[in-house]
A and B are shown apart, each in its own frame.
Chain A
Amino acid sequence: MADTLGRILLVEDDPKDVELTLTALEDYNLTNEVVVARDGEEALDYLYSRGSFKMRTNENPAVLLLDLKLPKIDGLEVLQTLKSDPKLKMIPVVVLTSSREERDMVASYKLGVNAYVVKPVDFHEFVNAIKELGVFWAIINEPPPGSVKRKQA
C-alpha cells in the first residue's frame, strides 16, 4: 500500500533530488508517506487513478510537492490541470524548484499554487526547508476532505 498510497506526492524527475528529499523527511518518519512521480504525466496518472495507478484508492494526497522542470508534462501544466479540475483543485500544491525566476513564481501563483519554495543550494538549509514543509503540510495542516488519512502512530 505504501508505494501507491501516500499523503505526500513528490513530483521530481531527478533521482538525486528524490533521495535528498527523502533523506530530509526521514527524521520525522514521513518517508513512508511519500509517493514519487517522476514526471508530469505520472503525477497526473496518479491523481486521476489511471495507467499504473488504476488500482489506487480514490483519496487525494494531503500535499503535492511539485518540481517545475519536468519531462513530458512540466510542473506548470500539472498545476494548471489540477487547479482547473473541481475534484482536484482543493489539493494543496507546493512548488519546489531550483528556479528563482520571477516569471515562474508569477505563473505559479496565478495558477493558484499554495506555496513556492526555492530549493536552497546549502544542504542544511535544504534539509530544513524540506523538513518544515513536510511537517507543516503532512502533520500540522488539516488537509481538505477526501484526503488520505494520517496513519495513527
Chain B
Amino acid sequence: MGTIGRAGLATTVGAAIRRFVGGGALATRSPPPRPLPPLKAARIAIERYGVAVAAVAVALGASLLLHRYRIERLEFPIFLFELALVVWYLGLGPAILAVVLSSLAFNYFFTEPLYTFYVNRTDLAYYIVFVLFAMLLTWFSAVRRRFERELLQSRDELQKEVAVRTQQASLLELTHDTIFVRDMDDVITYWNRGAQELFGWTAEEAVGKRSPQLLHTKFPIPVEDLREELVRASRWEGELERSKADGSRVVVASRWSLRRDGLGRPLAILETNNDVSDRKRREEEIRTLNQELGKRSSELEASNKELEAFAYSISHDLRAPLRHMVGYTELLQKHASSTLDEKSRRFMATILDSTKRMGNLIDDLLSFSRIARTETRETTVSLQQLVKEVRDEIQPETSGRDIAWRVGELPELRGDRAMLRLALVNLISNAVKFTRKRQHAEIEIGCLEKKNDGVTVFVKDNGVGFDMKYVNKLFGVFQRLHRAEAFEGTGIGLATVQRIIHRHGGKVWAEALLDAGATFFIEVPNRR
C-alpha cells in the first residue's frame, strides 16, 4: 500500500519537477529566446531543493513507519529509491543535498548506535556502501542527464536542418528550371518539376535510373574529358542533346556543379538544364539566311562592278565619238558654209542638234546610274536653303516668264545634300518646263504636316499636267508622257528623283489632271 502511495506521489512530484527541469535544461541549451527573470529562477531552485528535502523526509517517514511494524532492513533500498528518484528528476544539486541528508538520516536512525551520528566499526562498511552507492547513482544520473540534453539538442538541430532542407527542396521544386541530381555513378537521386516538364518523366520514373541511358545524352566532347573537367573545376557548362520521354530530341544548355564531401571527394552532380532548341533552330536559320545573304550580296557586288565598268566605259568611250561628230561637223560648217545651200545647212544643224541631245542623254544616264553607285553622305539638310539654291540655278529657264512662286515653310532633314538637290532640281525645273505654255504660271513648294517622323514635301504647278492613267509610267527611265517637240527632255529626270528618294528610304508619288497642273510629293523619313 505504502509503496504504491509513495510511487504515486513520486510520479506526481516527478511530473511537476520535470516541467521545471525541462525548463532549466532548455535554459542551459542554445540561447533561450527569453531568459527567466532572476526571481522566478530563484523560486524554481528553492522549490527543487525543497522537493529534495521533502523526498528525504518521505523516505525517512516510510522507513520509520515500516520499523514500527517490525519490517526491518528495508530502509536501505527505500533511501536508495528515494535518491534515485531525486537524482532522476531534480538534477545534481538537489541530489547531492538528498545524499547528504539521507546519509545523515540513515546514520542517525538506522545504523548502530541508534539516534547518534556516530558510526561504529561494524556498521561503517554498511554506511560507506550506502554513500558510495548513492554517489554512483548520482553520477550515473548526471551522465544520463547530459546525454539526454545532448540528444535533445541534436534532435532540435536536426529538426531545424530538416525544415531548412525541406524548404530548399520545395524551392527547387518551384523553379521552372530543369534541375536534377545524380550520384557519381550517374544514378538520378533528385528530379524536380522543371525536369519533369522538360523531359516528360516523373520523379518516380526518373529517380534511380542512370541519366545517360534515360536521356540518351549526346555529348559534344568525350565523356571522359568532360568528367575530368568537372572533377578539376567542380563545374562544367555546355550544350547537350537529349531525348524526351516521347522520343523527341531536345538541345539543352547544361550546367553541372560537383558536390564534394568533407574530404573533398566527389559525391554528387547537380545539373541545371535549359531548353535551347528554339534558339538553336533560330541560330541555324540565321546562319542559313546569312549564307544566302552573303551569296546574294557578292552577286550584287559583281553586278554592281559590272554596272560601274559599263558606266565608266560610257563616260569615256561614248562621249569621245560624239565630240568628234560635233567637232568635225562644226569644222565642216566653217569650211564649206559658202558652198552649202540652205538645205545642207539645215541637215548639218540637225546633226548637231541630235548629237547634242545624245550628249545630254549620256550625261543624264550617267548621273542617274551614279546615284545607285555612290555612297550617300548623310548630313542635316535645310530644304529651305536648298530650294533657294535650286531656284537660283534654274534662273536662266525662268527669265522673261511670269511665274508666281509660293514657297512655304520647309523643314530640315537628314540626307545626302547633293542628291536631294538633284531631286529638287528635277522637280522644280519640271514645274517650270510644264507651265511654259501658261500666261501666268503658279508654282507652289511646301511641306505637308509631319507624320510618322517623316517629311513630305510637294511641288505643285498649274502646268499641262498629265492623265492619271499613265501615272505608273511616270517614274520609269526613258518614259515620257509628252512629245519631244512639245517638251524637250530625256525621260530620266523623274526616274532620278525616285531613285534618290528610294535611297533615302522614302517614296515619291504624283497627282495630276490633264491640262490642270500636277503635284509631285516626296516623303523622306527623318532618320537619326
Show the binding face of A for B, using Cβ within 8 Å: 14, 16-17, 20, 23, 68-69, 97-102, 119-124, 126
Q: List 15 A-B contacts (CB under 8 A).
A: A14-B320, A16-B320, A16-B324, A17-B320, A17-B323, A23-B331, A98-B316, A98-B319, A98-B323, A99-B315, A101-B312, A102-B370, A102-B374, A121-B359, A126-B323
Residue B416 CB within 8 A of the other chain: no
Show the binding face of B for A, using Cβ within 8 Å: 311-312, 315-317, 319-320, 322-324, 326-331, 355-356, 359, 363, 366, 370, 374
Query: In the complex, A124→B363 CA distance in Å?
Result: 18
Minimum CB–CB distance for B416 against chain A, Å: 13
Query: In the complex, A102→B377 CA distance in Å?
Result: 14
B315 touches A20 (CB 8 A): no
B320 touches A20 (CB 8 A): no
Beyond the given pairs A16-B328, A99-B315, A121-B319, 8 more chain A to chain B contacts, judged by CB atoms under 8 angstroms and listed by A's residue number, are A14-B324, A20-B323, A20-B328, A68-B316, A98-B317, A100-B315, A101-B315, A121-B322
Task: From known contacts A23-B331, A124-B330, infer whether A17 and B316 are also in contact, taking CB-CB under 8 Å.
Answer: no
Nearest-neighbor residue (CB-CB) of A118 within chain B: B319
Query: In the complex, A17→B315 CA distance in Å?
Result: 16
A122 touches B312 (CB 8 A): no
A121 touches B323 (CB 8 A): yes
Q: Which residues on the A side are within 8 Å of B322 (C-beta)?
A: 121
B355 touches A121 (CB 8 A): yes
Nearest-neighbor residue (CB-CB) of A122 within chain B: B326
Q: Name, among A17, A102, A122, the residue most crowded by chain B CB atoms within 10 Å (CB to CB).
A: A122
Minimum CB–CB distance for A114 against chain B, Å: 21
Chain B: interface secondary structure?
A: helix
Minimum CB–CB distance for A82 against chain B, Å: 21
Query: In the complex, A17→B359 CA distance in Å?
Result: 17
A119 touches B315 (CB 8 A): no
Query: In the complex, A140→B359 CA distance in Å?
Result: 32
Q: Which residues on the B side are within 8 Å of A16 (C-beta)?
A: 320, 324, 327-328
Minimum CB–CB distance for A23 against chain B, Å: 7
Q: Which residues on the A side are within 8 Å of B366 (C-beta)?
A: 100
Chain A: interface secondary structure?
A: loop
Q: Which residues on the B side are within 8 Å of A123 (C-beta)?
A: 323, 326-327, 329-331
Q: Which residues on the B side are within 8 Å of A120 (C-beta)?
A: 323
Report, nearest first, the 5 A-B pairs whose CB atoms are least far apart. A121-B359, A123-B330, A98-B319, A16-B324, A20-B327
Nearest-neighbor residue (CB-CB) of A101 within chain B: B315
Query: In the complex, A97→B359 CA distance in Å?
Result: 15
Nearest-neighbor residue (CB-CB) of B322 within chain A: A121
Q: Which residues on the B side are within 8 Å of A99 (C-beta)?
A: 312, 315-316, 319
Query: In the complex, A69→B331 CA distance in Å?
Result: 25
Query: In the complex, A64→B322 CA distance in Å?
Result: 24
Nearest-neighbor residue (CB-CB) of A20 within chain B: B327
Minimum CB–CB distance for A26 against chain B, Å: 11
Query: In the complex, A14→B310 CA distance in Å?
Result: 20
Query: In the complex, A60→B281 CA distance in Å?
Result: 71
Which one of B316, B326, B328, B363 contacts A97 once the chains associate, using CB atoms below 8 Å?
Answer: B316
Query: In the complex, A92→B203 CA distance in Å?
Result: 91
Q: Which residues on the A side are within 8 Å of B355 (C-beta)?
A: 121
Which one of A17, A69, A100 contacts B324 once the chains associate, using CB atoms below 8 Å?
Answer: A17
Q: Which residues on the B side are within 8 Å of A14 (C-beta)?
A: 320, 324
Nearest-neighbor residue (CB-CB) of B333 within chain A: A123
Query: In the complex, A126→B328 CA distance in Å?
Result: 12
Q: Which residues on the B side are within 8 Å of A101 (C-beta)?
A: 311-312, 315
Nearest-neighbor residue (CB-CB) of A24 within chain B: B327
Minimum CB–CB distance for B217 against chain A, Å: 59
Task: From known contacts A17-B320, A102-B374, infer whether A121 and B356 are also in contact, taking CB-CB under 8 Å.
Answer: yes
Which one of A23, A98, A102, A122 contacts B320 once the chains associate, using CB atoms below 8 Å?
Answer: A98
A121 touches B315 (CB 8 A): no
Query: In the complex, A126→B366 CA distance in Å?
Result: 20
Q: Which residues on the B side are within 8 Å of A119 (C-beta)?
A: 319-320, 323
B316 touches A69 (CB 8 A): yes
Q: Which residues on the A side are within 8 Å of B312 (C-beta)?
A: 99, 101
Query: In the complex, A98→B316 CA distance in Å?
Result: 5
Minimum CB–CB distance for A120 against chain B, Å: 8
A20 touches B316 (CB 8 A): no
Minimum CB–CB distance for B123 against chain A, Å: 132
Q: Which residues on the A side are within 8 Å of B316 (C-beta)?
A: 68-69, 97-99
A122 touches B356 (CB 8 A): yes
Query: In the complex, A68→B319 CA distance in Å?
Result: 14
Query: In the complex, A17→B326 CA distance in Å?
Result: 12
Minimum CB–CB distance for B339 against chain A, Å: 20
Query: In the complex, A90→B315 CA distance in Å?
Result: 30
Q: Which residues on the A side are within 8 Å of B330 (C-beta)?
A: 123-124
Q: Which residues on the B side are within 8 Å of A17 (C-beta)?
A: 320, 323-324
